[in-house]
A and B are shown apart, each in its own frame.
Chain A
Amino acid sequence: MKDDLPLALIAVFVPFSLASIGGGISVMAGIQHETVDVHHWVTARDFVDLFAISRAAPGPGSMLTTLIGWHVMGWTGAIIATLSLFVPSSLLCYGVALVWRRYRGRRWHTAMEMGLTPIGIGLLLAGVVSILRIGGGGFLAWAVAFGSAGLMAWRPRLPPLLVFALGGIIFIVARAIAEGRMAL
Chain B
Amino acid sequence: MSDPSSRPTITAIFSVFLRIGLLSFGGGVTGWVFREVVTLRHWIEEDEFMSGLAMSQILPGTNIGNLSIYVGQRLRGGLGAAAALVGLLCGPFFSVIALVSAYSTIREVPFVDTAMNGIAAAAIGMVLIIVGRGARRFVMDPAAAMAMLATFVSVGLLHWSLPLTAFIVGTISVLVAFLRTKTHEG
Contact = CB atoms under 8 A, between A and B. Distances in A.
Contact of B174 (A101, A112, A161, A165): A112
A137 B121 contact: yes
Nearest to B30: A124
B62 A148 contact: no
Nearest to B32: A160
B4 to A, nearest CB: 14
State the majority secondary structure of interface residues on B. helix
B9 to A, nearest CB: 20
Contacts of A166: 122
Interface string A88-126: 111011101110110000011011111111111111111
Contact of B119 (A115, A125, A164): A164
B181 to A, nearest CB: 5
A50 B136 CA distance: 38
Given A141-B117, A144-B125, A164-B119, A82 B56 contact: no
Contact of B25 (A22, A118, A161): A161
A57 B96 contact: yes
B10 interface: no
Q: Chain A's interface: helix, strand, loop or mixed, by majority? A: helix
Interface string B58-80: 11111111100110011000100
Contacts, number: 368
A100 B147 contact: no
Interface in B132-173: 132, 134-135, 137-138, 144-145, 147-152, 155-157, 162-163, 166, 169-170, 173
Contacts of B64: 23, 60
Contact of B21 (A59, A61, A130): A59
Contacts of A172: 111, 114-115, 118
A171 interface: yes
A128 B60 contact: no
A145 B69 contact: no
Interface in B75-134: 78, 81, 85, 88-89, 91-93, 95-97, 99-100, 103, 106, 111, 114-132, 134
Given A21-B163, A22-B57, A119-B54, A93 B128 contact: no
Interface of A: 17-24, 26, 49-50, 52-63, 66-67, 70-71, 78, 82, 85-86, 88-90, 92-94, 96-98, 100-101, 107-108, 110-132, 135-137, 140-142, 144-153, 156-157, 160-161, 163-172, 175
10 contacts: A56-B103, A57-B92, A90-B81, A121-B53, A121-B134, A131-B27, A136-B117, A167-B26, A168-B115, A172-B114
